[in-house]
Structure 1
Amino acid sequence: MKIDFANLGLAYQEHKENIDAAMSDVLNKSSFIMGPIVLELEDRLSNFVGVKHSISCASGTDALLLAMMAVDIQPGDEIITTPFTFIATAETIAFLKAKPVFVDIDEKTYNIDSSKIEEAITDRTKAIMPVSLFGQVSNMLEINKIAEKHNLIVIEDAAQSFGATYENKKSCNLSHIACTSFFPAKPLGCFGDGGAVFTNDDELAEKIKSLRLHGQTKRYHHKYIGMGGRLDALQAAVLNEKLKHYNVDVSRRNNVALKYSELLKNHTIIPFVEQDRTSVWAQYSIRVKNRSEIQESLKSLGIPTAVHYPVPLHLQECFNYLGGKQGDFPMAEKVSQEIMSLPMNPYLTEEEVEYISTNLIKLL
């Protein structure tokens, strides 16, 4: 059996006729930058999340930059975040010459350990950036309380959790600002790069819209130093069509995850989802010993795997200047040595999940 990890091809084929028609409409109208299709997507995103403002942009990375620029993050400012995530989270902080301040992760959810945040706050701290890892939101209630107490901004990095819920509210509507990614392999992915910023703050929304257009407030009049961060109209067309079916995709992902967990629960450490939350299962990540050997054996059986993430950010070479060392964040370091992601997409059949799980159990 040959398993597809993300099955992007089938994600296209299932809605090919409508996606092709939507993209063709953009081509025929030749409105490639901004325009009505982008505004339509932003309205749909706002309605889906339940937030006042959705500002689309060129990538999830740009979304993080725009959010921090909007709240005026300056060189030397500190932003508290997790060392166990994709590099864009901390990379964008460093790109603005601010300082990423890492806090270790929770052993069960792999999200930032909210009980450790307050001890990391200094007089230079300006924001907290929790990551909703693998599709599940962080402990936002506690994080928001800490932020309010210390007058800090909370920016949710929701690159992996669009559509997830926390106490019946959607990810991207749980903090001052949130950012997501529409990278093709994300639960809601376009056919290239794409992202969005979300906020209920009218002034911040207007500033973000300006920042993504080189700080422009009207044509050739620039209030801010900004960036060229607009979402391509063709990608907006794709997302408009895929968003119509997104709840079905999330339900399918959840069914795949439930099947995995049923089969694997007595054999390895499976993903843990808090009772007050739902996950959109950007990844289904387990923990194993002898990871490399297991990966090679599964590969020989046509089962792809991935590691999200093998090196915590405080040990990455690009962050050597922060002085991080082995042992600083023991839980992040431990998980990074054991984590392994199994194929996860809405199209995995029960037969495929059983094939993956049965062969994995033999290797554990």
Structure 2
Amino acid sequence: GGPALATGGTFTTPALTASRQYFVEATTGSAETVGRPVPAATTSATASTYGLVFTATSSFTLTSVDVYPASTAGNLVVQVQDNTGTLIPGLAATVAVPAGTGTTAFTVPLNFNVPAGTGLRLVAISSPSLVREGSVGGFPYTSPSGAVSITNGYITGTSTTYYYFYNWQVSTACAGPRTAIQVNVNPAPAQPTLTATYNGTTTTLTSSAATGNQFYFNGVAIAGATGQTYVVNGAATTYGSYTVVVTNSAGCSSPASVATVVTTTRAGIAGASLRVYPNPTPTGQVTLELSGFRSATQLAVIDALGRLVRSEMLPATTGVITHQLNLAGTAPGVYMLRLTNADGVETRRLIRE
């Protein structure tokens, strides 16, 4: 059971949070014509819930009908009703009909999906003047497959008048058995973390996940870097932003780890102290409080992609000094402060709001 979600050879599900089943079926069908093909006269009348009564042995699509306008233009309001005169939900349309002289067909597109039933009615609730034929006989008009049979006209009861609707175009479909398709939703791996270990001439990056890793450098996958660790060799061209993504056996990928910016492979400066505040900085104005930097120190500000944003030289000091760093002109984001001298390297993470 259940209504059709789509037709065609492919279907893309909406976003799913849990596993579920879908069902697919194949249908075959045919197009048929039923009813009087054209009128034999041009007598006409405006409608007031006039039409035709029909029986459908199975559901079908009423693609279109022809009407013959016989006067000025106007709106045709058409419905399919059940045998009590109640509108079948969704089977109503209002169509603008041009002026005519009763001799030229106007095709009314409907595309009504009509259910099986007996004593169903196709009626014009209101209309401009349209051709209808009184006491024509010939009922019933039955489609070649027998799926649709027009049994009589309708005013307030049965009638031998053929009202308005000629050359019915109908299509029927026969559905095969439905086949279940199981769609499984597999949870994505947790976001991994990266740990950096400085080894003097190299830096070792270690993922928190034991398997399924893929390391990225500045957003580009590193060929062959699929183990739990990746070693940055210390060349200047390898300095930049590193992340790792974990993919499980079901092919689901985690969010990328928080970026680790590698700007050096050297150890920190023994005996040195560095404070950075405020951090985060909403204005870009930052105070650096330094002590123990016994030789001149290069200050570099590096963005999350490993690009140098600012560079300054700080003097040597044996005591505590403060230095004002102005990043007001930089974009919001995560930056790395790198202080390098002959004794080593110190780094700090800075957030510009």
Same fold at TM > 0.5: no
- The structure with higher relative contact order (CA 8 Å, sep 6+) is 1
The structure carrying a bigger strand percent of its residues is 2
The structure carrying a bigger helix percent of its residues is 1
Structure label with greater radius of gyration: 2
TM-score by length of 2: 0.19
TM-score by length of 1: 0.18
